Structure 1
Amino acid sequence: MSTPEPATTPEAPVRRVVGLFRPYRWNLLFVAVLVGATSLVSLVNPFLIRAVLDVALPQGRTGLLTLLALGMIVVSVANSSFGVLQSYVSTKVGQRVMHDLRAAVYAHLERMSLAFFTGTRTGEVQSRIANDIGGMQATVTTTATTVASNLTIVIATAIAMLVLDWRLAMASLAMTPFFGWLSRRIGNERRRITRDRQRQHAAISSIVQESLSVSGILLSRTMGRSRSLVDTFAAESDRLADLEIRSSMAGRWSQSWIQIVMSSMPAVIYWVAGLTGPGDHMAISVGTLVAFTTLQMNLFRPMVQLLSAGVEIQASLELFARIFEYLDLPTDIVEPRHPIAPVALRGDLRLRDVGFSYAGAERRTLNAIDVTVPAGHSLGIVGETGAGKTTLSHLIPRLYDVTSGQVTIDGVDVRDMSFDTLAAAVGVVPQETYLFHASVAANLRFAKPDATDEELAAAAKTAQIHDHIESLPDGYHSVIGERGHRLSGGEKQRLAIARAILRDPPILVLDEATSALDTHTERAVLAAIDAASAGRTTITIAHRLSTIRDADEIIVLDAGEIVERGTHGELLRLGGRYAAMIDRDAAVSG
């Protein structure tokens, strides 16, 4: 299920975007100095040209001519040097800003509750981090500096033109306000297209992530849907291509007219200069005319770039808005400002009158759950599908917060514990095993990065998986493929159990962790877990009731409520739902 896109994406406040650059203000000040220096130096050449044409050449002053020519070369070298240094600093600042955004979004998403991820396609999350932030690269690395540089050049050039001849300057700049209005109009159009384009990128990312994973390929091949998926991807890609074309061509005709008008301005200047007449006391010298047209051509490039940059910035504001939308998502699971840590992590677990309901649900998933599991004891949880077993297990490591009541470990409410303390207290082996495309050792060390090889082997032996690991081509260094697809279901679950054991938490939650094991392997793993569970509180959610026969207490859930509780023998003698489930299991296995 995917989270529906909002009808409109919130605006990205310019002040907030500017705030991203605040930590690098001294670097930006240095860039501004370089921009100013480059702009001022670039204005020297037209005046040197005027001196050459009006003074040095007509008067035959070769010494002055040499100095002026050397001055032009120095201006060129200075401009190039300033440009390279400016490009390096601005690119460095831009990349740091992009890094800060990526890290902030990732860190924020890591704090989101499980509910966010169950309601959002993975491809959408990946697209925000990769495509949206990646799409900002030009803006944060070069566009901002381009705007500052070109704006400075335009202003300085306009002032120089006014100094040379105000009449020619007014003729050159008359169309500037119209160009600005036109660029803003084009920018708004590009921004709307950008919003649709990024949503299409997210849709394609989701298709690729879901259908080209190992699980997706297996499903499509066995269901005969490969051709259908190819057609679906092609259709989505075609929509994206159309949006890219629209984005690229938006306002191109308008921009072409701007370039045509500005390219025609030298002809206008020559015409205006000719109207003054050779006898007029305000006649323009040849040197002034050449210097002015040189300035005008210098003005043409930065003005066009400035108008184009304005369009790009307006489009990029949509990308910033999408990122800020994620950063502004409220975090349901918040770490306490002043966390409380138990004196010692023993593993005393208590659920006091716990109730829970998912957001938007009409009825509670759990209601009035009251359970005490002393340190070192075991609890079995059984019930039909949808009874609330897995939801209950999610409340212990605080993947969700209770709606009412409280969950305590060693007398401390889990909501008052730091995330690190809670993670150290509770280990979880989920029903669906998740393994990385990495070596066996790397997957195990995800639980304990500093674990020694001996500790890895000990945990694997406890989970009855060591011998199999040793039989792999590279032993513990063997890469097991995405989601561990090079292992069987039972091998994956035993590896997940070994990973949890390696962390050595006082509380271990097993969510049907042995459901994919054959009877022989299941017995071996359960015996190993029992041996490792001395002094450990164990919560076992059972699909096979044989796995919880020896639990100190068993609770039976139905519609989110405890309907029976007791030991295996007590529940059998009761002759209720648990006894009926045992009989059904026996009939199926028989």
Structure 2
Amino acid sequence: MPRGAQVTHLSREEVAAADSPVLGRIASLLRPYRRQLVLVCVAVVAGAALTSVIPFLTRAVFDQALFPTDGGPADLGLLGRLVGLMCLIPVVTALISVGQNWLTATIGNSAMADLRSQLFAHLQTMELAFFTATKTGAIQSRLANDVAGVRTVLTDTATTILQNTVTVVAAVVSMVLLSWQLTVLTLVLMPAFIAIQLRVGRRRQKLARRTQESLSEMTAITEESLSVSGILLSKVFGRAESETERYREANREQARLQVAQAMTGRTFFATVQTFFAITPALIYLLAGLMITGSLPGGADALTAGTLVAFTTLQARLQMPLLQLMRVTLDVQTSLALFRRIFEYLDLQPAVVERPGAVALPTVRGEVEMRGVWFRYPEPRSLSGGRTGDRFGDSTVRIDRPDGVAAPVPDDAWALRDVSLRVEPGQLAAIVGPSGSGKTTATYLVPRFYDVTRGAVLIDGHDVRDLTLDTVTGAVGMVTQEPYLFHGTIRDNLAYARPDASAEEIEQAARDANIHDRILSFADGYETVTGERGYRLSGGEKQRLAIARVLLADPRILILDEATSALDTETERLVQQALERARANRTTIAIAHRLSTIHDADVIFGVEDGQVVEQGTHDELLAAGGLYARLYVEQFQSGRGPRRADERRADVSV
């Protein structure tokens, strides 16, 4: 965070002001399913219209068939027809309801799948800096928990609102037609109920956000502590109990918030239900007063059939009204979750393809840096709190007191005025002490980051003017700690080229000195590597990573200390694989052991983010600068030169 910056939590007014555009974006998720929604609307209106007919049939049963108002005998024929209609209508509405529910479930779950896919695809476009500043568990929580939390809104809410609204409107119109006086009594407290509900909704919205933040923290703890690396660290330092207590505290907070969210509004709904429960008694009282003349205008209008039909409607009105209140409350609650999802979708990637970007049909492999200055951007994490800490998941806004970006101090630059050139097919090495900017420089070539000033060029083209496919297809990388996902060896290799044949995969493995080792496993290429490749040794993982790059066949190869932390025999195998990998490719190697770069075409010495020297091995030794100093420290140490396999260098990224 910049010095002098302040962290301001979004206020209630800011959150409320954001509701309208959020609702519009939610509606846009359903836009691809307009035709199905029209069918749902037709089904809802038809069902509500049919249901509203039943009270009038009930009145006809009493006032025309059983107890005719003209004093005549009961009409059994009319009664049979009316009863037949009263039996047929529920059957028809049930069939309509089944079709409506199928359409609703299809639309809602499809929209939710679209949202999840959209969020995942958007996260794939984010720059590397975003992921270094955001907990993996927090990202997983938004993809899983937050999207799951809005499931009801997308699958049921729209239909529920429409259905119950139509039902309520139809019921109220019917009640007014039967008796406007009794209708006024039924709805007299509704404005007060609506006002209270809005207050309850705001409270639920805040609790929903805090609940999801707590759930996100729990997911992050789980991801950190129960991964292979986390379990290994816990066991090494005996922290199992403290990790358990850490999870237990987060779990207790989650339970407390869930209870608070579940209980918010319960008193309100209990009050509403109580009012509806006693309303029939009040209706009977009011009807009695009207029939006896104590209240004007009701003696002739209120028949027994009218009273029965009205109380039937009043009973039917209760459930839709309660459902409308509850679903409106759910919508207000879900808005907090939608905002959390849209926060990620609104993040603009820092590394994007420019309009009119050039796609190179062939890449020669020339790499150049011209006056490159680079500083790491401020973390753009929405995980809240301090970047990388274990607290909070609330949305924050960073405000500078003066609104002006502060000048960048010299020590904030990771690279300063770096210029270098690597010809096609050359082996270039970058050496320097820890933290000098070696890895940072290589990250700029495949556009993991964009330069702050200056330019990185491939074949004379600024990488920012090339299509992303051109850049990613031209540059391959083998890192110090290669990543293998939980799958078979064949799947891990084919990740570089999904269309590669079995023969091509095996040839890449042979070139990487790993084919025979793979065949020694019981399942061969179908051997499961385990999470992050933990079932394999470091050398095996490294050679698989080399095979994967060979399968991709890039013209530019970056080796980031690919032989560090390996035993002598494994290093020999990996070094042989790397020599094959470098053939006919431009190679940029961050050197850990200087013995591996004696034959480099050009060596760049980097210190404090600057290229301080360049030349061949012999030229740099003769110059007596940074490279010579590192060489002496590594191989002589006052006792004469030693072989590279006798001593590991203490030169890291």
* Coarse TM-score class (shorter-chain normalised): over 0.9
- Residue 46 of structure 2 is matched in structure 1 by 37
CA distance in 1, matches of 2:422, 2:625: 23
Partner Cα distance (1:397, 1:42) in 2? 64
Q: What aligned pairs does 1:506-521 form with structure 2 within 5 A after superposition?
A: 506-521=555-570
Residue number among 613, 619, 624 corresponding to 1:575 in the alignment:
624
Deviation at 1:5, TM superposition (A): 9.2
| 1:454 pairs with one of 475, 478, 503 | 503
Conserved 8 A contact 1:387-1:560: yes
Aligned counterparts of 1:248 and 1:5: Cα–Cα separation in 2: 30
Supply the distance in 1 between the matched residues of 2:513 and 2:268 (Cα, whole angstroms).
71
Show the counterpart of 2:75.
61
Q: How does 1:86-105 map to 2 (within 5 A)?
A: 86-105=100-119
AA of the residue aligned to 1:306: L
Distance 2:496 2:602 in 1: 29
**1:280-295 alignment runs, 5 A limit:** 281-282=299-300, 284-295=302-313
Decide which of 315, 321, 340 is 1:303's aligned counterpart: 321
Separation in structure 2 between the aligned mates of residue 554 and residue 519 of structure 1, nearest angstrom? 24
Give 2:358's aligned amino acid.
I
- After TM superposition, the score normalised by the length of structure 2 is 0.88
Which residue pairs with 1:84 in the alignment? 98
* Superposed displacement of residue 65, structure 1: 1.1
> 3-state DSSP class of the match of 2:87?
helix
Taking every aligned residue pair, what percent have the same amino acid on both sides? 46
Aligned to 2:165: 151
Report the secondary structure of 1:21's partner residue: helix
How far does the alpha carbon of each residue in 1:414-448 deviate from its partner, in whole angstroms, 9 at most, with x for none?
11111111111000112221110000000000000
Matched with 1:439 is 488
Match of 1:493 among 528, 539, 542: 542
User: 1-side partners of 2:581 and 2:415: how far apart?
Assistant: 31
CA contact (8 A) 1:375 1:537 kept: yes
Corresponding residue to 1:264 among 255, 261, 278 = 278
Letter in 1 for 2:112: M
Say whether residues 1:194 and 2:212 are aligned partners. no
Match for residue 141 of structure 1 among 155, 162, 175: 155
Output one character per residue of 1:265-285: Cα deviation in whole Å (capped at 9) or x when no partner.
111111111101357643511
CA–CA distance in structure 1, aligned partners of residues 306 and 580 of structure 2: 96
Contact 2:511 2:577 in 1 (8 A): yes
Corresponding position of 1:503:
552
Compare 176-185 and 523-532 and name the one that shifted more: 523-532
Contact 2:109/2:155 (<8 A) preserved: yes
SS of the residue aligned with 2:536?
coil
Q: Which residue of 2 aligns with 1:423?
A: 472
**Alpha-carbon offset, residue 343 of structure 1:** 4.4
1:52 alignment partner, SS class:
helix
The residue matched to 1:380 in structure 2 has which SS? strand
2:387 matches 1:373: no
- Cα deviation 1:93-123 (Å, max 9, x = unaligned): 1112111211111111111111111111111
Q: Which residue of 2 aligns with 1:395?
A: 444
Between the aligned partners of 2:544 and 2:238, the Cα distance in structure 1 is 32
SS in structure 1 of the partner of residue 104 of structure 2: helix
| CA shift digits 1:246-271 (9 cap, x unpaired) | 00000101110110001111111111
Q: Could you tell me how far apart the structure 2 residues matched to 1:482 and 1:444 are?
A: 15
User: Partner amino acid for 2:262?
Assistant: S
Number of matched pairs: 588
- Greater shift in the superposed pair: 191-200 or 98-107: 98-107
- Secondary structure, counterpart of 1:372 in structure 2: strand
Partners of 1:540 and 1:400 in 2: CA distance: 19
Verify the 8 A CA contact 1:342 1:411 in the aligned structure 2: no
Structure 1 range deviating more: 494-503 or 519-528: 519-528
Among 294, 317, 337, which residue is 1:319 paired with?
A: 337
Alpha-carbon distance in structure 2 between the residues aligned to 1:516 and 1:80: 69
State the one-letter code of the partner of 1:470: L
Choose from 109, 125, 140 the match for 1:111: 125
Matched residue, 1:238: 252
Conserved 8 A contact 2:546-2:577:
no
Distance 1:5 1:482 in 2: 37
Deviating more after overlay: 45-54 vs 231-240: 45-54
Moved more, 150-159 or 575-584: 575-584
Q: Provide the rounded CA distance (Å) in 1 between the counterparts of 2:568 and 2:620.
A: 23
1:382 equivalent in structure 2 = 431
Cα offset, 1:529, TM superposition = 2.4
Alignment counterpart, residue 60 of structure 2, candidates 44, 51, 55: 51
* Conserved 8 A contact 1:554-1:566: yes
Gaps of 5+ in 1: none
Give the stretch that moved more between structures: 472-481 or 23-32. Answer: 23-32
- C-alpha deviation, 1:516, in angstroms: 3.0
- Rounded Cα–Cα distance in structure 2 between residues aligned with 1:224 and 1:5: 36
**How many Å apart are 1:457 and its aligned residue?**
1.2
Structure 1 SS opposite 2:9: coil
SS of equivalent residue, structure 1 residue 276: helix
Greater shift after overlay, 97-106 or 148-157? Answer: 97-106
Q: Structure 1 residue 340 and structure 2 residue 342: aligned?
A: no
Q: Distance in 2 between matches of 1:343 and 1:24?
A: 40
SS in structure 2 at match of 1:448: coil
The 3 A distance-change label for structure 1 pair 123 and 298 is same
- Which amino acid letter does the alignment assign opposite residue 509 of structure 1? I
Offset, 1:215: 0.6
Aligned counterpart, 1:407: 456
Q: Provide TM-score, normalisation by structure 1.
A: 0.97
Give the SS at the match of 1:112. coil
Deviations 1:352-390 (A, max 9, x none): 111111125632111121111111111101111100011
One-letter amino acid of the structure 2 residue matched with residue 34 of structure 1: A
Whether the 8 Å CA contact 1:342–1:410 is kept in 2: the answer is: no
The runs of 5 or more residues in structure 2 that have no matched partner are 68-72, 379-407, 638-645, 648-653
Query: Does residue 28 of the first structure (1) align with residue 28 of the second (2)?
Result: no
Q: CA deviation at 1:55?
A: 1.3
Q: Counterpart amino acid of 1:7? A: H
Cα distance in structure 2, aligned partners of 1:453 and 1:291: 76
2:583 to 519, 522, 534: 534
- The structural deviation recorded for 1:6 is 6.7
Q: The residue matched to 1:408 in structure 2 has which SS?
A: strand
d(CA) in 2 for partners of 1:333, 1:145:
41
Q: Secondary structure of 1:43's match?
A: helix
